[in-house]
Amino acid sequence: PASASSQPASGPLSAAPYSVRQSVDANGVTIREYMLPSNVVFAVTWDGPVRPNMRALLGSYFANYVAAGQSGVRGSGPLIEGNDDFRIESAGRLGRFFGMAWLPRLMPTGVRPGDLE
């Protein structure tokens, strides 16, 4: 019948390849952690009035962040660095900072960094 065709299709789209856990830190920074079904975090994004505590946010990957910051040109421009193991994009100005860090090898098939908000 016609009513059956108006139902949304269920299938691969209904099962996202990841879940998102969102929190807001004490400074008002919104942090989103993107997790695989195995509860492994493969990406984080942030957006807020200040830069988040990067050591707490990145954990064992903090050293990669420090190395990325030191390899780039010093200044107030955006940080876009990384390799096959760890990538980071961070930008902002007084009152608004945002960015994301991700592990390319753990990114689900078909998901691009630009898909994460």
Render pLDDT for 98-114 as a digit per residue (tens, 0 to 9): 999 999 999 999 998 88
pLDDT tens digit string along 42-58?
Answer: 999 999 999 999 999 99
Residue 52 token pair = 């988040």
Cα(29)–Cα(50) distance, rounded to whole angstroms? 7
pLDDT at 76: 57
Contact 96, 102 (CB under 8 A): no
Domain ranges of the chain: 17-109
pLDDT at 41 over 90: yes
Q: Percent of the chain beyond pLDDT 70?
A: 79
Count CB neighbours of 83 within 10 A: 10
Contact 43, 116 (CB under 8 A): yes
Cα(98)–Cα(51) distance, rounded to whole angstroms? 7
Cα(111)–Cα(47) distance, rounded to whole angstroms? 20
Considering only CA atoms, which of 35, 41, 31, 38 is closest in space to residue 99? 31
Q: Tell me what the mean pLDDT of segment 17-41 comes to.
A: 95
Q: Tabulate helix, strand, coil % of the chain (nearest 5).
A: 25, 30, 40
